A = this chain, B = another copy of it.
């Protein structure tokens, strides 16, 4: 049998694109039963200086040169964003080209349409690179006989790096963010990472790949880590917890919770121990089998490696197989979820304040498990933090209670709520 040759058109030559070029060169040196030929690379500017050596005849600014070239059987998209990535991928699939993409934002929005188009045109659609940390597990989940009961993920390297550094260095969120931006661990506009959107994209894409369930992105509750202070990290540690930005899925019967927010996790748990840019995923299925994976969440080589794995699937003739579509699930409203809560109140150091707060919580059926109140305000007008850990309560009741407490005359600034997760492994 002859060697299988895969002819590639690459869209994007940023960090990941360059990683792909580099790894393809390295890979092609091995003698295998397949070979990758990079036919064309679409870039924005032809004359930009590039650290990876690429023959200039490969570069083009004209997408048509890839999309309309019948020799190119496989398109790799690593430009990111919605447009023109969406148009490129859809046209490539319609033309019968295989597509490999790292685009989680797009998958989270129109994943269902993309997979339909791929199936219709008998193409492979590789999306490993859209969730670098956990694709090895997701790949297998598509064949899992049982539904997920609970899933927790740490999917954003930037956020996890910031939270880890805050704890290690004893620094504020903003000063750690600034340093992360300096060394390239956070983008100039960090919102996508630190406000939880990237994690939400990965969560929605994962649900479709692992559970055959396409959840509308807008319906996922998303909260980021901007309001976490070093103080919260210290209090959490005192209580035996570490704060992580989590993707959370819980399913019982047809009721689903899917949310992204920072959470207190018991320090001994796997997800609590992920440090810096490490990411991870753990889950429990309906027959109680628990499994977890830990891997780098980002980076040139991890992402490019994920892309290459999809390319090798194409070379080896693997067909796209989607998980069984799960019957309709009811997404719980955020107000309906139940959780334990970490609450931080900033109040004036006055007699009776603790009684007032406890009273309001009690009126809303919220029981307090622990309280930390330390030190005194230096001046009578300065606020002191009061930390409470509640027993399980309904989110809506907690939100209502916080509104009442924040309206008290002794309250200085908005209270902070962080949900508590018990973890799996």
Instruction: For chain A, residues 277 to 317, give those with C-beta under 8 angstroms from any C-beta of chain B.
Output: 282, 285, 287-296, 301-302, 305, 308-313, 316-317
Across the interface, which residues of B come within 8 angstroms of A140, CB to CB? 135-136, 139-140, 309
In the assembled complex, which residues on chain B have CB atoms less than 8 Å from the CB atom of A301?
Answer: 287-289
Which B residues are CB-close (under 8 A) to A26? 287
- Cβ–Cβ contact A290 & B296, under 8 A: yes
The interface residues of chain B lying within 8 Å CB-to-CB of A296 are 289-291
A23 interfacial contact with B, CB 8 Å: yes
- Interface-lining segment among A141-149, A226-234, A249-257: A141-149
Task: Judge whether A350 is part of the interface by a CB distance below 8 angstroms.
Answer: no
Does A319 reach chain B (CB closer than 8 Å)? Answer: yes
Report the copy number of this chain in the oligomer: 2
Determine whether A90 belongs to the interface, using a CB cutoff of 8 Å to chain B: no
Q: A23-B145, A136-B137 are in contact. Are A292 and B289 (CB under 8 A)?
A: no
Main secondary structure of the interface of A (DSSP, over half): mixed
Is A120 an interface residue when CB atoms closer than 8 A count as contact?
Answer: no
* A287 contacts across to B, CB distance below 8 A: 23, 26, 301, 305
Whether A33 sits at the interface, judged by CB under 8 Å, is yes
Contact flags A15-36 to B (C-beta < 8 A → 1, else 0): 0000000010011000011000
Q: What separation, in Å, do the CA atoms of A295 and B285 have in the docked complex?
A: 12
Contact B136 A324 (CB under 8 A): no
Q: List 30 A-B contacts (CB under 8 A).
A: A23-B145, A23-B146, A23-B287, A26-B287, A32-B324, A33-B324, A135-B140, A136-B136, A136-B291, A137-B137, A137-B293, A140-B309, A143-B316, A143-B318, A144-B305, A144-B309, A145-B308, A282-B294, A287-B301, A287-B305, A288-B301, A289-B295, A289-B302, A289-B305, A290-B295, A291-B296, A293-B294, A318-B319, A318-B321, A319-B319
Which 4 interchain pairs have the tightest Cβ spacing?
A: A136-B140, A145-B308, A291-B295, A143-B309
A-side residues, CB < 8 A to B, are 23, 26-27, 32-33, 135-137, 139-140, 143-146, 270, 282, 285, 287-296, 301-302, 305, 308-313, 316-319, 321, 324, 425
Known contacts A136-B139, A143-B309, A146-B305, then 8 further A-B pairs from the complex at CB < 8 Å, ordered by chain A residue? A136-B140, A137-B293, A143-B318, A270-B294, A282-B294, A288-B301, A294-B294, A317-B321
